Amino acid sequence: MRVLILGADGYLGWPTAMHFSNKGDDVVAVDNFSKRFWELELGIETLEPVPTLHRRIARWRQVTDRVIELRVGDLTNHRFVYKLLEEIRPDAIVHYAEQPSAPYSMHSRTNAVNTQVNNIVGTLNLLFAIRSYCPNTHLVKLGTMGEYGTPNIDIEEGYITINHNGRSDVLPFPKQPGSFYHLSKVHDTHNIAFVCNIWKLAATDLNQGVVYGIETADTARDPELRTAFHYDSVFGTVLNRFLVQAVCGIPLTVYGEGGQTRGFLNINDTLRCVELAVRNPAKAGEFRVLNQFTEQFSVLDLATRVQAAGARGGMKVEIARVANPRVEKEHHYYNAKHSKLPELGLVPNLLTDEVLDRMLATVRGHAHRINRDIVQPSIAWAQKHP
Ligand SMILES: NC(=O)c1ccc[n+]([C@@H]2O[C@H](COP(=O)([O-])OP(=O)(O)OC[C@H]3O[C@@H](n4cnc5c(N)ncnc54)[C@H](O)[C@@H]3O)[C@@H](O)[C@H]2O)c1
């Protein structure tokens, strides 16, 4: 298949590009490197420096003799997107190319606007370009489980049957996003569902949980093929931050009561889920929604697991309850359905002690690289920012 990977310089985009290339698919990688700019803007470093995309693609070719094509450009520039799709006309598009951080989007008016313009306009340009140049292309778009929020009922996969005043309908599941970033994903969802209906495009929305892990079969082939490990308070997800805090001797920062429960998955399962979605495409006119995660954990569960991993490694790890910088429920019901990807063939890689110990060992191996100044929470939802 001809597969276009948008956001291919990113944490998930690069391993995905290698994954499809390794399977013999014809891969075109796209990025505008905006994530690297946001990192520089905030003084953020990854655990290990990430080689440029150009260099990683060249290395991939040396190691595997497979070619990944590169196109540098910004999805918010519609001329770039139109030209790209006119030329490539892919069978499938995997769309990761968005600003992915809730704290980043909550920092200021500027960041909220940038996040929503980048994410929503980029996706809209893509939808119009698909209609013009390749209406049979299957769009696989990364959404997030955070679009649903934490309702006091089971979370379904995209749709819910509602009985109201004696009538019944299958309707989009209600969304209660918790940040301007999550809101951007909800707006994307509505735009994509709308064009599937009116233009009969085919799309799959992958409502992904929090991804952990940095090692895939392909990143392990060569140090220059690595992907990013963010541990800072803006782009680092909770497990990464806890592992780094454990290694630095900083008490793990559990927000408030720590009962916040979310869906999680291993990076290798992201690759498998995206591949399953691509190989089993949505039909023309279908807006398919799959909940992409394998396990649920509360923040306190994760802190306790990291503490135990530390103890196994001979480290004393403390847990601190800190004031919650977010506005969110700290105790709530959470039961999100996630059966459609296993039905397509997903066999989950779970967060075993062995996986956790391996991640902790990786972080310990790079302890000298950790910048302690960027670890602690720095952006509060209710605080007034510029
Ligand atoms: N990592 C997770 O845990 C997670 C969880 C749920 C959903 N997601 C979603 O998956 C996607 C990928 O996440 P990630 O962690 O790999 O993020 P990332 O920031 O590492 O990768 C996104 C890439 O897209 C690029 N990009 C952003 N805007 C662009 C634009 N306008 N034009 C071209 N390129 C652009 C960035 O430069 C970056 O390389 C995001 O949409 C994110 O919201 C990620």
Nearest to 95 by CA among 68, 69, 70, 127: 127
Specify whether the CB–CB gap between 217 and 153 falls below 8 A. Answer: no
Q: What is the atom index within ligand 1 of the atom nearest the CA of 34? A: 37
Distance CA 164, CA 21 (A): 49
CA atoms 366, 241, 19, 13: torsion sign: negative
- Catalytic status, residue 133: no
The total of other beta-carbon atoms located within 10 Å of residue 251's CB is 15
Q: Check residue 316 and give its pLDDT.
A: 97
- Catalytic status, residue 216: no
Distance CA 129, CA 138 (A): 13
Q: Ligand 1 mean position to 278 CA, how many Å?
A: 18
32 lines ligand 1 (CB under 6 A): yes
182 lines ligand 1 (CB under 6 A): no
Structural domains in the chain, CATH included, are 2-217+264-294+334-348 (3.40.50.720)
Q: Check residue 283 and give its pLDDT.
A: 98
178 lines ligand 1 (CB under 6 A): no
Q: Check residue 386 and give its pLDDT.
A: 56
Q: What is the atom index within ligand 1 of the atom nearest the CA of 208? A: 6
Distance CA 310, CA 315 (A): 5
β-partners of residue 225 are none
- Catalytic status, residue 283: no
pTM over 0.95: yes
Q: Check residue 378 and give its pLDDT.
A: 86
Q: What is the atom index within ligand 1 of the atom nearest the CA of 100? A: 43
Q: What is the atom index within ligand 1 of the atom nearest the CA of 146? A: 6
Which of the listed residues 14, 30, 33, 34 should we mutate to test ligand 1's pocket, taking the one with most ligand atoms within 8 A of CB? Answer: 34
User: Can you give the pLDDT of all 386 residues of the chain as single tens digits?
Assistant: 999 999 999 999 999 999 999 999 999 999 999 999 999 999 999 999 999 999 999 999 999 999 999 999 999 999 999 999 999 999 999 999 999 999 999 999 999 999 999 999 999 999 999 999 999 999 999 999 999 999 999 999 999 999 999 999 999 999 999 999 999 999 999 999 999 999 999 999 999 999 999 999 999 999 999 999 999 999 999 999 999 999 999 999 999 999 999 999 999 999 999 999 999 999 999 999 999 999 999 999 999 999 999 999 999 999 999 999 999 999 999 999 999 999 999 999 999 999 999 999 999 999 999 999 999 988 999 877 65
- DSSP-derived pairing of the beta strands 159-164 and 26-31: unpaired
12 lines ligand 1 (CB under 6 A): yes
Which of the listed residues 142, 182, 338 should we mutate to test ligand 1's pocket, taking the one with most ligand atoms within 8 A of CB? Answer: 142
Q: Ligand 1 mean position to 7 CA, how many Å?
A: 6
Which of the listed residues 57, 96, 267 should we mutate to test ligand 1's pocket, taking the one with most ligand atoms within 8 A of CB? Answer: 96
237 lines ligand 1 (CB under 6 A): yes
Q: What is the atom index within ligand 1 of the atom nearest the CA of 101? A: 43
Distance CA 348, CA 338 (A): 11
